[in-house]
Each structure stands twice: as structure tokens, then as C-alpha cells.
Amino acid sequence: MALQNRPEAYLLPGKHIHLIGIGGVSMRPLGLVLRGMGMEVTGSDMNSSVSTDELIAKGITVHIGHREENIQGADCIIRTAAARNDNPEIAAARAQGIPVFERAQAWGVIMREYKNAICIAGTHGKTTTTSMTTHIFMEAQADPTVMIGGSLPLLNAGHRVGQGETIIMESCEYCNSFLNFYPTVAVINNIEADHLDFFKDLADVQRSFRRFACLVPQTGFVIANGDDPNTVETLKDLDYLSFGLDRKHDFYADKISSDYSSFDIWAKGKLYCHVDLAVNGKHNVYNALAAAASAYVMGIEGCHVSNGLATFTGAGRRMEYKGEFKGAKIYDDYAHHPSELHSLIEAVKLRGFKRIVLAFQPHTYSRTKALFQDFVHELKKADVLLLAEIYAAREQNTYGISSADLAREIPNAQYFETLPQVTEHLKTIAQEGDLILTVGAGDIFKAGEALLK
């Protein structure tokens, strides 16, 4: 590919870069990182949000709504995966000969500037594992650059620009984004059928993850969940370090407490460190093992793993405590896949609440349709279930599906067309000792926040 067709020819100090969908979880930090590297950054988004407000406050011009005049003066365009070719700004750029690059391509260029690139992937647990890894590397004073698909209280943001040799990057498989990266350490938490609006089936997802693992050079490391059958199958005949709960793995947890918050981590047959987590649940043992394994291969001492993980209280929207209403504790979580719901509900059952009141908003029509029976199976486990309408995200409802369809399959479930209706119902049913959980990758968190107001 000629250099003028590659993003590295444009991601240089003094160039004007325009970001389409700049308010997105990966786009907003990209804009801030590029500006920190000396570029002029502008952007656009469909709606104003906390993210766009933050960018504007930091001096970046953000246009609300997509119009061709927004790209005036830009040397290149970077677009979010959700921006289609019929977007007026993309169409205008093509007509004017301004190159258009994917978000992941830009992160790939940034990544190549670092000696160590830890790329954390998997269908579930990416944000938490990336956050835990960040805590460890910050504790070890490695001064990392970080990109997380959520907010981390330690950073007061979802990203950080460091001066060290390491970048820690949450790496998403959607649209094969992570295949644009240059990992020296590739972490795979687990592999399941998801993003079926892009992938054909589980086998297609597995092919993508295998290609991701193959990006790692001979001098690097692939670290993968040896207890996850899909991951093991995906990586068969590849060389990787495994983690899990079985002693046969390169990294394993031992002496695990009943709520899964306290355990020892063994690395290559030796005790590496003891961990006391402020978060619980079996899934977080796996997340901590993945983070610890990344630290181990980077030569970080076990004491930094212990201390770093001890200060981790969760990432934003990952079992995030929001407040109390009528003696009920309100938490918010990003879970939007049946396996994530399973892990979440199993973990909160260990906390001893009188009732689990779950307000769930499915994310995308395609996922709800493809995994319908799995959603029914997991959602039945709540004591009280409120279903908000499906959050469309990037989709149109060509699937003819609604949350009302889920409600019909689940005894005592109630369907609500709008979030204010969810809030109103929570207000009438909340009791002392309840756990009220707002769950989903859309804007369901607003229902809990409105309740607290």
C-alpha cells in the first residue's frame, strides 16, 4: 500500500484529523491522544453527550450532527466502526479525495510507537481485565499509556497518555478491529458467538481471534483462558500460555475464598502473589489471572500485582455502586450478553441481598434475536425483572423483535416502553435490603440515576 494511503502518513504533528463519532468510548480517547501528539483534532457525533461535552471543554471542536461542511480543512478522516459509507461526511471526504481510515487503524499506528503493546481481547471481561492490568502497571510505576472501553476511577477517564514503554489496550473483535493492532502480548479471556450482525457464526468469531493471536511476534506472548473450550479449540497447535483454575495451567488460582475475592496466584509452578479483590465473582478470578499473567511476562514483581489489584474497585458501569433509595442499593452494570448476565447474577447472589431487582435493557436487535433463549434462561434468575425496550445502537429493527417478546417468555417479567416508566416502577417496588441492578450496554443507567434524583 502506498504511504499516502496509510494512516501513518497523516497521524503527524500539525495535521488536521477529523473524527466521525468522536463521542464513542474508543473515539473520544483517540481524539485526546492525537491532540496530545500535536495534531489539530475536530469531530462530529449524532448526539451531544457527557463525552462530547468533555471534548469541547478541552478545546476540541465537536459538531453535533453529520454534515459535509464539518470536514472542511481536514487532512484525513477517522471513523467509528458504526459510521457507514452513506454518512454525509464520509461521502464528502471520498468526493474530495480525503483519505478515510478506521478507528482501529489509528490505534494501530499509535501502538507501534511502544516497545510493549498489551492487547486484551475476549467476548467478555475486556474492560475489567484492562482496568486491572492498568492498576498493576500504575502500581509498578511503569507509566503506561492506556485505552479502556469504559471509565476507570483511578484515571478519572478511560484513557491515559504515559511516558513509559508500554501501551495497554482493550481490543475489540467487532468488525475485526483488533486485527489492525500490533500486540507484543495478546490476551484472550474467552470466545463466544457475539456481534452476529458482523460475524456469520461462532466459527467465524474463532477465525478472527486466531488471526489476532497470530499477530504476536515470536518474541511476544499469547496468554489465553485454558478453561474456555472455545478458546482452546481456537488456539489448537499454537504456542500460548494458559490461565485458569486447574493446576495444569501456566497461571492458576489456588485457595479461593467462597465469594471468589481472595486467592493465591501461581505462575510457572511457583507462588507469584496473593490477591484480595474488592470485587467478587468467579469471572473476576479469571480477569485477575489474565491481568497477573500479563504482568508476569513483563517482569513485574508479584507485590505490585497484589497491591494493584487490592486498589481496584471496578471500572465504570461494571457493578458500579450508584447510591441508595428507600434502603435498596442501586448498582449499574454493562452486561449485555447472556454469559455476562450469568456471571453478574451468580456474583451478586453471594452478597446476601433480600431480592435481586433487575432492570435490563437488551442491546441491539440482532443480538437479542440470535441469543433469545439464552437471554430467557439467564433473566429468569432475577427475583424481580423489569425489561426496557431494546437499545438499537447502530441497527434498524429489521428483525421484528421487542423486549416484550422476552417478557412473554419469563414469568412475572414486566415490559416498559420507556426508561421513565422503568424508573417510576422501581420507585413503587423498592424495599429495604433490595439490590436494584440497571443492566445493559445502552442508556439503562439513566433509569437508576433518575431514581436517585
Q: How far apart are CA 205 and CA 337, in angstroms?
A: 15
Is residue 108, in this structure, part of any structural domain at all? no
* Shared domain check, 223 and 89: no
Active site residues: 126-127, 170
Boundary of a domain, candidates 72, 101, 130: 101
* Shared domain check, 139 and 252: yes
* Shared domain check, 339 and 281: no
* Shared domain check, 241 and 126: yes
pTM exceeds cut of 0.75: yes
Q: What is the pLDDT along the chain (453 residues), one digit of tens a residue?
A: 455 678 999 999 999 999 999 998 789 889 988 998 899 999 999 988 888 998 999 999 999 999 999 999 999 999 997 788 999 999 999 999 999 999 999 999 999 989 999 999 999 999 999 999 999 999 999 999 999 988 899 998 888 889 999 999 999 999 899 999 999 999 999 999 999 999 999 999 999 999 999 999 999 999 999 999 999 999 999 999 999 999 999 999 999 999 999 999 999 999 999 999 999 999 999 999 999 999 999 999 999 999 999 999 998 888 999 999 999 999 999 999 999 999 999 999 999 999 999 999 999 999 999 999 999 999 999 999 999 999 998 789 999 999 999 999 999 899 999 999 999 999 999 999 999 999 999 999 999 999 999
* Shared domain check, 243 and 163: yes
Boundary of a domain, candidates 43, 78, 101: 101
Is residue 107, in this structure, part of any structural domain at all? no
- Buried b or exposed e, range 270-297, using 16+ CB within 10 angstroms: eebbbbebebbbbbbbbbbbbbbbbbbb
Question: Which among 339, 351, 382, 129 has a CA at the least distance from the CA of 261?
Answer: 351
Is residue 109, in this structure, part of any structural domain at all? no
* Shared domain check, 402 and 278: no
Q: How far apart are CA 258 and CA 263, in angstroms?
A: 10
Is residue 106, in this structure, part of any structural domain at all? no
CATH code of residue 420: 3.90.190.20
> 91: domain range?
3-101
Boundary of a domain, candidates 310, 343, 376: 310
CATH code of residue 84: 3.40.50.720
Q: How many domains does the chain have?
A: 3
> Is-contact 205 141, C-beta < 8 A?
no
